[in-house]
Amino acid sequence: MAESTQIQQRDGFQSKWGFILACIGSAVGMGNIWRFPIMVTRFGGMTFLIPYFIFVIFVGATGVIEEFALGRSSQAGPIGAFGHCTELKTGNKKTGEIIGIIPIIGALMLAIGYTVVMGWIFKYTFMSISGGLFALGTDMGAIGGTFGATAPEAATLGEAVGMMFEGGLFGIGNTVWQIVGLIVALAIMAIGVSGGIEKANKIMMPVLFVLFVVLAIYIATLPGASDGYKFLFSIDPKGFANPQVWVYAFGQAFFSLSVAGNGSVIYGSYLPMDEDIPSSARNVAFFDTLAALLAAFVIVPAIAASGMAMSDVGAGPGLMFVYLVNIMNGMPGGRIVGMVFYIAVLFAGLSSIINLYEAPVATMQEQFKMKRLPAVAVIGVIGLVVSTIIQPWTSQWMDVVSIYICPLGAFLAAALFFFVAGRDEALKAVNHSAKKPIGAWFYPLGCVFCVACLVALVLGAMYGGIG
């Protein structure tokens, strides 16, 4: 364990619920909103949800607990945490520190891709408030054209870079709103963990849940919405024999809970030593699942009420920035519905991007002894420059990170925790201050989780992404 003097010098969360809300914020992202509801409808409501719940319990009881405990026991981000594990085993922390660079790169790359997405969200939130989005009406040509101009596409990274420089960094894409979104996120981070991240999530997460509940209640009153609930609560026992149901349910749970060896590790490192990690992990898994279900209870009945066939709507950015704009603009009170929806989405995205940038920022502080503000500034400049250039290649960029680097980071964190640090150290780390200590089952199940990370990596490559 790290020495108490190091713990006292480290900024951290000041309350249990501050930590839990920040972790919920990191987990509740675009996957909950633009992917989960469509997966539920595509694979038959409860036929998908039952396997999904099983995998949420599995990942929450292993990977989430493991990453929190890994960060807290070392009082460091991935580089220091991985080094701590190899030092326990061999007396040499250098090997672990080198390996720890991989999830940091993954976090930064994912944050860069998310910066582009946040720019889209900030623009659409502003348009929903100003009335510009509602003014598009239900003209799919205008709606699709607006998003096409916001998010241009290129087939290759080289083509994307060429497009941005030929068209001017402010001439195409969404650079201005991208800068606005990044500045907001970095400003919160610059204040600190307890003063910025914790306080922001204490506001954003409760408001997000309230807004989704309000939307769900309103959507339930619309004619035709009941068909959406039939989709959500339907069950086909034969569907359980479909391997894809289990593959995509596993992928949704795995990626939704943000186990990647970076964000959860760094947030865990900010935990006080008297925090009950298993209890916190349960709360994070529960509320992340609740957020996904709330999104489904808004989006699926809204699609049904619009008269649009469920099979006509795909997962991804097109759902949130094209199809839902059309659907919301066509319903009674559509302007207000759109405004409430995009404000909620903004909070979900903002809390996630803060978590993604935090791991690289903390690395700058730990490895180069930088103060908080300069560390945020350096990472922010990198994020701004790269995210601006890759705008037309964002989808492919995010695929590379989520399919390959995130599962690899999760595997490395789990392998170092369970196999390198060892059984006794793992159980000691997770049970420290736990009111109900975890039993001997945790270690073998954690070993299964290591294998599951590799399965996520292989299946993601096979299917072109599973979460």
Condensed to tens digits (0 to 9), the pLDDT of residues 14-68 reads: 888 899 999 998 888 888 998 999 899 889 899 999 999 999 999 999 999 999 9
Q: Is the pLDDT of residue 4 over 60?
A: no
386/287 Cα distance (integer angstroms):
33
Radius of gyration of the chain (CA): 21
Q: Is the pLDDT of residue 403 over 90?
A: yes
**If you average pLDDT over residues 331-356, what whole number do you get?**
95
Please give the pLDDT value at position 2: 42
Q: 411's torsion region: left (phi>0), alpha (psi -120 to 50) or beta? A: alpha
pTM for the model? 0.94
Measured CA to CA in angstroms, residue 345 lies from 101, 300, 320 at distances of: 31, 16, 9
Please give the pLDDT value at position 187: 97
**If you average pLDDT over residues 399-411, what whole number do you get?**
95
Quick one: pLDDT band at residue 6, thresholds 50, 70, 90? very low
- Across 24-62, b (16+ Cβ under 10 Å) vs e yields bbbbbbbbbbbbbbbbbbbbbbbbbbebbeebbebbbbb
Terminal Cα-to-Cα distance of the chain (whole angstroms): 34
Please give the pLDDT value at position 3: 37
Do residues 258 and 28 touch, judged by C-beta distance below 8 A? no
- Top pLDDT among 198 and 312 is at 198
For residue 99, the one-letter residue type is: I
Quick one: pLDDT band at residue 69, thresholds 50, 70, 90? very high
**If you average pLDDT over residues 82-106, what whole number do you get?**
95
Q: Is 194 exposed, middle or buried (0-12, 13-18, 19+ CB in 10 A)?
A: middle
Q: Is the pLDDT of residue 154 over 50?
A: yes
3-state secondary structure labels for all residues of 48-99 = HHHHHHHHHHHHHHHHHHHHHHHHHHHCCCHHHHHHHHHHHHHCCCHHHHHH
Which phi and psi angles does 449 have, rounded to 5°?
-60, -35
Quick one: pLDDT band at residue 1, thresholds 50, 70, 90? very low
Condensed to tens digits (0 to 9), the pLDDT of residues 416-434 reads: 999 999 999 999 999 998 8
Please give the pLDDT value at position 168: 84
**If you average pLDDT over residues 118-146, what whole number do you get?**
96
Domain count for the chain, please give it: 1
Instruction: Enter the tokens of residue 274.
Output: 């008297």
- Top pLDDT among 6 and 340 is at 340
Q: Residue 54's domain is classified under what CATH number?
A: 1.20.1740
Q: How many residues does the chain have?
A: 467
The domain of 423 spans 4-463
150/184 Cα distance (integer angstroms):
20
Mean pLDDT across the chain, nearest whole number? 93
According to DSSP, residue 331 is labeled S
Measured CA to CA in angstroms, residue 140 lies from 145, 146, 149, 257 at distances of: 8, 10, 14, 34
The helix or strand, by DSSP H or E, that contains position 169, with its residue range, turns out to be none
Condensed to tens digits (0 to 9), the pLDDT of residues 214-241 reads: 999 999 999 999 999 988 988 999 999 9
Q: What angle, rounded to 10 degrees, do the helices at 372-389 and 175-191 form?
A: 160
Q: Is 250 exposed, middle or buried (0-12, 13-18, 19+ CB in 10 A)?
A: buried
Quick one: pLDDT band at residue 117, thresholds 50, 70, 90? very high
Please give the pLDDT value at position 8: 40
